[in-house]
Amino acid sequence: MTKLNVAMIGYQFMGRAHSNAWRQVRAFFDSPIHPVMKVVCGRSAEGAARAAERLGWEESSTAWREVVERDDIDVIDICTPGDLHAEIAIAAAEAGKVVFCEKPLANTVAQAESMLEAVRRAGVIHMLCHNYRRAPALALAKRMIDAGEIGEIRHFRGVYLQDWIVDPESPRVWRLERARSGSGALGDIASHSLDLARHLVGEISEVSGLLETFVEERPLEDGQGRGIVDVDDAAMAIIRFEGGAIGTIEGSRFCPGRKNHNRFEINGALGSLAWDLERMNELEVYVEAGPESGFRTILATDEAHPYVEAWWPPGHILGYEHTFTHTVYDLLRAIGAGVVPEPNFEDGVRNQRVLDAIERSSATRRWEKV
């Protein structure tokens, strides 16, 4: 069994989700690689040490550059805010490491392109973590679409709705600072709908976008005054696919009651599919079949469904965290086979170009080509 030493940079929400995946993957999947959770890096020595102890990393460090350069480190897992993705990924590629990066790939197209160039020049394996692609019901939808079961696709309709900053006095966290996050709902959650649109339907040729910021200043996290919100609170776009389909994408943090409502519906010439993260194990399917036709719900927890046989018997449903374990498993399989998995930094650049076109279109109030 080949062992690979992993170093993860960042240990908050995504760091916890990724740590859980690194810990679980070999317990449930026949991975060709044994990932060793070697080092977790962060800005706070105390915080990183606590994260190492709680999340299962052998060491902790506040010096990510030194860790990236270590000869005993094979994989760099980037779970920081977007403003650090490019610097870390480029250093990791130049050090010959496998580079695994959270979405969105970067805060700008230029940063994303420099990351792709660096991993290509170094010839290293690279992967972008868009975890929802590997929810079993969603992977089943992809299998059905690719098999032509709903025919030629006409519409993609994606929404990603949350409500965690509806309160105007909710503090200005890093996700609300352009310098840290690159954008607001656009890059944080609409990027998921966009990635699913590209994954399930195909490449996007042009967009008409609308960004809005409802609350333009908020209390600072340290309580020492207030700060400007320079990112979008909500992002919407009409999109045209290269293959002829049309669609809409919407990401908003101002939808009271919607906690993590990531939903899509796809309408094809022969039928429709719909999926909702808040009902993650279910795929709604409509295929025309005469007077008894109607939407039916497939509970995607049978062994025949993607990834499920590694876990539990049918009906013992899976959750959000399993999508990260599936992603890490596919990364390890790719490393074992010496191939670049999907999505990777090329997808990251393509996604970033669409995000940028949506932002440009919102400013120019014109359709923008990707």
Secondary structure of 71-95 in the HEC alphabet?
CCCCEEEECCCHHHHHHHHHHHHHC
Smallest distance, ligand SOE to C-beta of residue 188, A:
5
194 binds ligand SOE (CB under 6 A): no
Site for ligand SOE in 146-165 (CB under 6 A): 162
| Nearest residue (CB) to ligand SOE, 13 versus 295 | 13
Distance CA 11, CA 216 (A): 29
Residue ranges in 105-214 assigned as alpha helix (H):
109-122, 136-146, 178-181, 185, 191-200
The amino acid occupying position 336 is: G
188 binds ligand SOE (CB under 6 A): yes
State the burial class of residue 186 (Cβ atoms within 10 Å of its Cβ: 0-12, 13-18, 19+).
buried
Smallest distance, ligand SOE to C-beta of residue 103, A:
6
Smallest distance, ligand SOE to C-beta of residue 227, A:
19
| Nearest residue (CB) to ligand SOE, 251 versus 271 | 251
At residue 114's C-alpha, the angle toward residues 194 and 201, to 5°, is: 20
Smallest distance, ligand SOE to C-beta of residue 13, A:
5
241, 158 contact by CB (below 8 A): no
250 binds ligand SOE (CB under 6 A): no
| Nearest residue (CB) to ligand SOE, 213 versus 260 | 260
Q: Of 278, 299, 261, 271, whose CA–CA distance to 152 is shortest? A: 271
| Nearest residue (CB) to ligand SOE, 248 versus 260 | 260
Smallest distance, ligand SOE to C-beta of residue 131, A:
7
- What torsion, rounded to 10 degrees, do the Cα atoms 116, 127, 80, 187 define? 70
Q: What radius of gyration, in Å, describes the C-alpha atoms of the chain?
A: 20
Q: Of 1, 263, 21, whose CA–CA distance to 141 is shortest? A: 263
Size of the site for ligand SOE (CB under 6 A): 5
Q: Which two tokens stand for residue 48?
A: 């990183």
Smallest distance, ligand SOE to C-beta of residue 224, A:
25
**Residue in the shown chain whose Cβ atom is closest to ligand SOE:** 188
Q: What is the DSSP letter of 160?
A: E
CA–chain centroid gap for 60, Å, is 25
Distance CA 207, CA 275 (A): 23
| Nearest residue (CB) to ligand SOE, 100 versus 286 | 100
Contacts with ligand SOE, 83-122, as mask; x by CB under 6 A: ----------------------------------------
| Nearest residue (CB) to ligand SOE, 81 versus 271 | 81
Smallest distance, ligand SOE to C-beta of residue 178, A:
16
The amino acid occupying position 166 is: V
Smallest distance, ligand SOE to C-beta of residue 17, A:
8
Among 91, 140, 150, 189, binds ligand SOE (CB under 6 A): 189
Q: How far apart are the first and last CA of the chain?
A: 44
Smallest distance, ligand SOE to C-beta of residue 175, A:
7
345, 119 contact by CB (below 8 A): yes
Among 13, 56, 167, 339, binds ligand SOE (CB under 6 A): 13
Interaction site with ligand SOE (CB under 6 A) = 13, 162, 188-189, 260
